[in-house]
Amino acid sequence: MTVEKGSELPPLELRVTRADLVRYAGASGDLNPIHWSDRVATGVGLPGVIAHGMLTMALAGRLVTSWAGDDPSAVRSFSVRFTRPVVVPDDDTGALVELTGKVTDVTDGVATVAVTARCDGRTVLGKAVATVALPG
């Protein structure tokens, strides 16, 4: 794989449903009702049930790991700021998270990748950056 500054990662679109939130809550132990109860979520000022921030980060990480290939240790670091929640409607469609990435630097065989995560046309993660060791 030839990687240079300005290279774009293949975009990725992922849906998050309420069922996904239930599974993630069970796996993570984060049973906060803002992730499953509209009444509680709106009661604390949210627009509705929201996805777990770490789930949203993991989805963005999937963009990077898919691009990085078979070596899971290739991703050296990944960090984000949570800027806006992903609101997950109570339907069969869920919320669409659109992920893109662009290489901003390549130095000594390590690529720096800026990741963009959007839902409903709005950015949901800020300063999302991964460093990836390139093969060979």
**pLDDT in the model for residue 70:** 81
Alpha-carbon span 30 to 102, nearest angstrom: 31
Alpha-carbon span 108 to 19, nearest angstrom: 42
Average pLDDT over residues 106-121: 97
Q: What is the CA radius of gyration of the chain?
A: 16
Average pLDDT over residues 114-119: 98
User: Is 115's pLDDT higher than 90?
Assistant: yes
What is the percent of the chain where pLDDT is above 90? 93
Question: pTM for this one?
Answer: 0.93
User: Is 1's pLDDT higher than 70?
Assistant: no
**pLDDT in the model for residue 112:** 98
Task: Write out pLDDT tens, residues 55-99.
Answer: 999 999 999 999 998 887 899 999 999 999 999 999 999 999 999
Residue linked to tokens 């030839």: 2
Average pLDDT over residues 26-37: 96
CA distances, 5 to each of 51, 106, 117, 134 (Å): 32, 6, 20, 13
**pLDDT in the model for residue 71:** 84
Question: Domain coordinates of the chain in residue numbers?
Answer: 51-133
Alpha-carbon span 64 to 33, nearest angstrom: 30
Task: Write out pLDDT tens, residues 13-29.
Answer: 999 999 999 999 999 99
What is the percent of the chain where pLDDT is above 70? 99
Overall fold of domain 51-133: Thiol Ester Dehydrase; Chain A (3.10.129)
Instruction: Estimate the crossing angle of helix 53-68 against helix 18-28, to 10 degrees.
Output: 90
**pLDDT in the model for residue 2:** 83
